[in-house]
Amino acid sequence: MRLTEKVHTILTNHLQQGDQAIDATAGNGYDTLFLAEQVGPSGKVIAIDIQDCAIRSTQEKLDSAGLIDRVRLVADDHALVLRKLIEANREKIAAITFNLGYLPGSDKSIQTHAESTEEALAVSIQLLCPGGCLCVTTYRGHSGGAAEAETVEAFMRKSQTEGHTVDCYIPESSNSPPILWVLKKS
């Protein structure tokens, strides 16, 4: 099973109608569309991406599916956006997803970076409700990817010592496969 499918399987069992969820790296909108389906008409999704083209692509997908009404799209850096959400949304979000790296078929120089990713993850913990789920997929094959993956691993190990439940999935492969981290907030 691909890690993107694994994330969807985990969140299908976790999310309920009426929940609030965040896609912190909207990209082409596959995860945003999935989250919008899971939270239902009474739920809400916030989808963030630093690239306008990604936000447009996500909007088109949601328009086609008739689900745009339950999604708020934000074109900006996720650490910045998540920080602004804290005051009104502390411990209210049921699930947050990060699919790190760059947008396939787009400008590869626009990619997530260890420093802002670490900040965005720390804020995510504050936004998650107790029992809330944080899914983070890291890629090690591109420049900067290995350093970012190490930062995410250190964040997850520290979170585990703080009482959160952390699982890690690595597909069998000889060549630096992606890693999925799943944190359940205590």
Ligand X SMILES: C[S@@+](CC[C@H](N)C(=O)[O-])C[C@H]1O[C@@H](n2cnc3c(N)ncnc32)[C@H](O)[C@@H]1O
Query: With respect to ligand X, which residue has the nearer C-beta, 20 or 137?
Result: 137
**Which of 120, 138, 36, 33 has the alpha carbon at shortest distance from 77?**
120
Which helix (DSSP H) or strand (DSSP E) does residue 157 occupy?
Answer: helix 145-161
C-alpha pair distances (Å), 21 with each of 24, 97, 131: 10, 8, 13
Residue found by looking up tokens 């996500």 in the block: 58
Helices (H) and strands (E) in the chain, counts: 6, 7
Pattern of binders to ligand X over 64-93, x per CB under 6 A?
-------------xx---------------
**Which of 149, 182, 140 has the alpha carbon at shortest distance from 165?**
182
Residues 39-58 close enough to bind ligand X by CB under 6 A: 48-51, 54
CA distance 19 to 10: 15
- Find the binder of ligand X among 111, 124, 138, 159 (CB under 6 A): 111
Pattern of binders to ligand X over 122-161, x per CB under 6 A?
----------------------------------------
Q: What are phi and psi of 21, to 5 degrees?
A: -140, 160
Ranked by CB distance to ligand X, the top (closest) residue is 27
Residue 59 engages ligand X in binding (rule: CB under 6 A): no
**Segment near ligand X (CB under 6 A), from 11-19, 101-109, 127-135, 175-183?**
101-109
Query: With respect to ligand X, which residue has the nearer C-beta, 30 or 89?
Result: 30
Binding region for ligand X (CB under 6 A): 25, 27-31, 48-51, 54, 77-78, 99, 101-103, 110-112, 116
